[in-house]
């Protein structure tokens, strides 16, 4: 297999293509990809054409994220995506209008995957907004480590891509802002919705600086500082200082 060819695990394929196909059909697709050095072999196939198309689309989205992380959005061309996906040019244009369309759909898919993981983790934090936030931030840092190409696209490359990507980035930040503001207001009156926006923007700026430099080692060490920064405007220095220790445990 070419060293830069994207690989999708069975779990990723199941999550991506949804419930439209059975696990055995998804397994068969994964086996075909493995036997074909990362691309579907030509000739007779034993899986539905619709599943092949869905898997090809997911491979192209993953390849776009990998290529963008490696080269930067402005330097990426469609050929770079095709090389990493092991997919033909006609197949690419069956799914996307152009490079920009592919990037935007990859952005949307990655953002939704991140949001699902963070909200699921936060829901385990119970009734306290601080506990929910801590669980969500822990999962965010794990997500950055597990899916570096996605987070680079969301946090770094979207700024340099195009106006539509910037709008999507802003929408992601707004979504987190609204969620944080709602959590706080369930327990106490928040000083202003601008406070939540400032916190989310500050966290994003810190992560941008680290990811843009490629400095993503030991991200867990950021959690106490992020919690202090988030709690301070809502509950003051004393409570925020307590979060330094709580987040570190």
Give the number of other Cβ atoms within 10 Å of residue 35's Cβ. Answer: 10
Average pLDDT over residues 183-191: 77
pTM for this one? 0.88
Give the pLDDT confidence score for residue 1 in this predicted structure: 47
Alpha carbons within 13 A on the beta-carbon side of 122: 19
Ramachandran region, residue 39 (left: φ > 0; alpha: ψ -120 to 50; beta: rest)? beta
The CA-based angle 141-144-148, given to 5 degrees, is: 165
Residue 217 is given by DSSP the state T
Give the pLDDT confidence score for residue 228 in this predicted structure: 93
Model confidence over 40-87: pLDDT tens digits? 766 556 778 888 888 899 999 999 999 999 999 999 999 999 999 988
Give the pLDDT confidence score for residue 57 in this predicted structure: 92
Model confidence over 192-222: pLDDT tens digits? 778 999 999 999 999 999 999 988 888 888 9
> Domains of the chain (ranges plus CATH)?
10-96 (no CATH), 102-248 (1.10.357)
Look at residue 249 and tell me whether its pLDDT is greater than 70: no
Judge residue 92's burial from the number of C-beta atoms within 10 Å of its C-beta, 0-12 exposed, 13-18 middle, 19 or more buried: buried
């Amino acid at each position: 297999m070419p060293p830069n060819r994207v690989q999708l695990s069975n779990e990723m394929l199941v999550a991506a293509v949804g419930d439209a196909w059975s696990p055995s059909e998804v397994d068969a697709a994964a086996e075909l990809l493995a036997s074909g050095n990362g691309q579907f072999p030509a000739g007779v196939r034993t899986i539905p054409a619709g599943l092949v198309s869905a898997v090809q689309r997911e491979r192209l989205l993953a390849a776009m994220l990998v290529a963008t992380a490696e080269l930067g959005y402005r330097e990426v061309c469609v050929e770079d995506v095709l090389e990493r996906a092991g997919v033909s040019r006609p197949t690419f244009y069956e799914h996307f209008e152009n490079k920009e369309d592919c990037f935007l759909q990859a952005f949307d898919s990655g953002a939704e995957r991140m949001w699902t993981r963070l909200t699921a983790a936060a829901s385990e934090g119970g009734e306290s907004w601080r506990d929910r936030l801590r669980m969500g931030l822990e999962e965010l840092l794990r997500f950055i480590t597990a899916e570096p190409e996605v987070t680079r696209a969301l946090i770094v490359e979207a700024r340099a891509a195009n106006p539509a990507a910037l709008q999507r980035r802003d929408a992601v930040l707004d979504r987190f802002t609204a969620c944080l503001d709602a959590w706080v207001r369930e327990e106490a009156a928040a000083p202003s919705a601008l406070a939540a926006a400032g916190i989310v923007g500050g966290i994003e700026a810190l992560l941008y600086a680290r990811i843009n430099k490629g400095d993503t080692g030991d991200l867990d060490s950021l959690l106490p500082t992020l919690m202090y920064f988030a709690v301070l405007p809502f509950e003051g220095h004393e409570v925020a200082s307590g979060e330094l220790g709580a987040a570190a445990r």
